[in-house]
């Protein structure tokens, strides 16, 4: 790969000394072209453009996974990259997650920057040893001598009608492991800014996308479209300000929380919605500052309730802001069962907007009183 790059540099009269200058110029040029486009962008296009720009800027970045090349990606996130960068930097692999994840970690040991795509994070379980024992722990075990700049990305959590083995949320699993950084984007801005930050980061990053968000469009500013744009890892975003209750969410659940906040506003409850963006490191300061203002907390996630992300947030608030709470903390999560295949049961297993509304009302002591059994006879 490096030989090919050196030959191209020589052909274009680019020396090693001014390579960085050349790459920077390429990024600015791409940014100017892109900024003149539409201000609406799908999450799919945000991810694709982030990959494209980072591969253009840094020849050490490459993509590897199942169907990322010839098929243009199972979800078309890698569309066009094979034609642009060739099979040396966009590598189709067999169906062997343990194999290509391990190869990616080895490449990162040697200074390359692999982006490993899992067709779903459920399949990352086949590669868990490489992610946890090889990628996450090597920097610590080598006393900082080994960096592992690798990104593991793909859809995480529930989709629609794909059963228990394709629907689990792994945010809490990976979020529990020191040595990993775990990101979960919601909007196009999140997807673009966080993926760029993940690729540039010297540590292994687990990047949890959501299949149902790929086709969603979000407004993006000229700043977001600039090729130099990135978002800080470990910093949450307050999507909606409020004064009566804090609602935390990540990935697809941010949208549900925002819709619930609109409903609550019509009933006189002002909800502050926090988009976590980063699961590890977790932005505890933003969460606690919000709770100290609103005096109530509701956490929302698609994952299982036991040992979940919401449980960690609740523990943090109880430890740091207990005296500010005016009501018990509330948690909304997925049901504590493997995901059902039947559509009606699947809906019951995943948090709905009405569940968030009910939880917020409970915390605000505004829940509807239950009807006596005698009255229903």
Q: What is d(CA 341, CA 93) in angstroms, rounded to the nearest whole number?
A: 29
Cis peptide before 32 (omega within 30 of 0): no
To the query of whether residue 110 is one of the catalytic residues in this protein, the response is no
Q: What is d(CA 108, CA 202) in angstroms, rounded to the nearest whole number?
A: 9
**Coil vs helix vs strand at 330:** strand
Q: What is d(CA 248, CA 233) in angstroms, rounded to the nearest whole number?
A: 17
Q: Where are the alpha helices (DSSP H) in the chain?
A: 2-11, 19-35, 43-57, 81-85, 97-109, 128-129, 138-141, 171-175, 188-200, 222-225, 253-266, 284-294, 309-321, 343-349, 353-363, 373-376
- 10 Å CB burial of residue 2 (0-12, 13-18, 19+) is exposed
Cβ proximity of 159 and 343 under 8 Å: no
Comparing CA positions, the residue from 85, 370, 27 lying closest to residue 227 is 27
To the query of whether residue 97 is one of the catalytic residues in this protein, the response is yes
DSSP category for residue 96: -
Q: Which residue has the tokens 């050490």?
A: 60
Q: What is the DSSP string of 117-182?
A: EPSSGGGGGGGHHIIIIIIITHHHHTTT------EEEEE-S--SS--GGG----HHHHHTSTT-EE
Q: Of these residues, 66, 97, 209, 301, which one is catalytic?
A: 97
Q: What is d(CA 100, CA 78) in angstroms, rounded to the nearest whole number?
A: 17
In a 13 Å sphere around the CA of 122, the CA atoms on its Cβ side amount to: 16
Cβ proximity of 288 and 321 under 8 Å: yes
User: Known catalytic residues?
Assistant: 97, 166
């Amino acid at each position: 790969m490096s030989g090919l790059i050196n030959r191209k540099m020589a052909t274009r009269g680019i020396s090693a000394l001014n390579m960085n200058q050349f790459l920077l110029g390429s990024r600015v040029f791409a940014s100017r072209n892109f900024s003149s486009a539409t201000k609406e962008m799908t999450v799919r296009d945000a991810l694709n453009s982030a990959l494209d720009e980072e591969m253009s800027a840094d020849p050490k970045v490459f993509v590897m996974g199942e169907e990322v090349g010839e098929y243009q990606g199972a979800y078309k996130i890698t569309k066009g990259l094979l034609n642009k960068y060739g099979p040396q930097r966009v590598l189709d692999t067999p169906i062997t997650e343990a194999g290509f994840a391990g190869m990616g970690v080895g490449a990162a040991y040697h200074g390359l920057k692999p982006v490993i795509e899992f067709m779903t994070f459920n399949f990352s379980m086949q590669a868990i040893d490489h992610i946890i024992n090889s990628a996450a722990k090597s920097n610590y075990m080598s006393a900082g001598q080994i960096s592992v700049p690798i990104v593991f990305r793909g859809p995480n959590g529930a989709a629609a009608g794909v059963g228990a083995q394709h629907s689990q949320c792994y945010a809490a699993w990976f979020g529990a492991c020191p040595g990993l950084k775990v990101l979960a984007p919601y909007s196009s801005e999140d997807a673009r800014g966080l993926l760029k930050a993940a690729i540039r980061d010297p540590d292994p990053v687990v990047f949890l996308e959501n299949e149902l968000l790929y086709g969603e469009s979000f407004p993006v500013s000229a700043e977001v479209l600039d090729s130099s744009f990135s978002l800080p890892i470990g910093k949450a975003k307050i999507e909606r300000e409020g004064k009566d209750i804090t609602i935390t969410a990540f990935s697809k659940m941010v949208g549900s929380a925002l819709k619930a906040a609109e409903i609550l506003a019509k009933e006189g409850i002002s909800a502050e919605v926090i988009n976590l963006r980063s699961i590890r490191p977790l932005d505890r300061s933003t969460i606690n500052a919000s709770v100290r203002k609103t005096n109530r907390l509701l956490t929302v996630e698609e994952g299982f309730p036991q040992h979940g992300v919401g449980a960690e947030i609740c523990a943090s608030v109880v430890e740091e802001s207990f005296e500010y709470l005016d009501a018990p903390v509330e948690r909304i999560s997925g049901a504590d069962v493997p995901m059902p295949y039947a559509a009606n049961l699947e809906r019951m297993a995943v948090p709905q907007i009405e569940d968030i509304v009910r939880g917020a009302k409970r915390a605000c002591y505004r829940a509807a009183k239950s009807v006596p059994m005698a009255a229903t006879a």
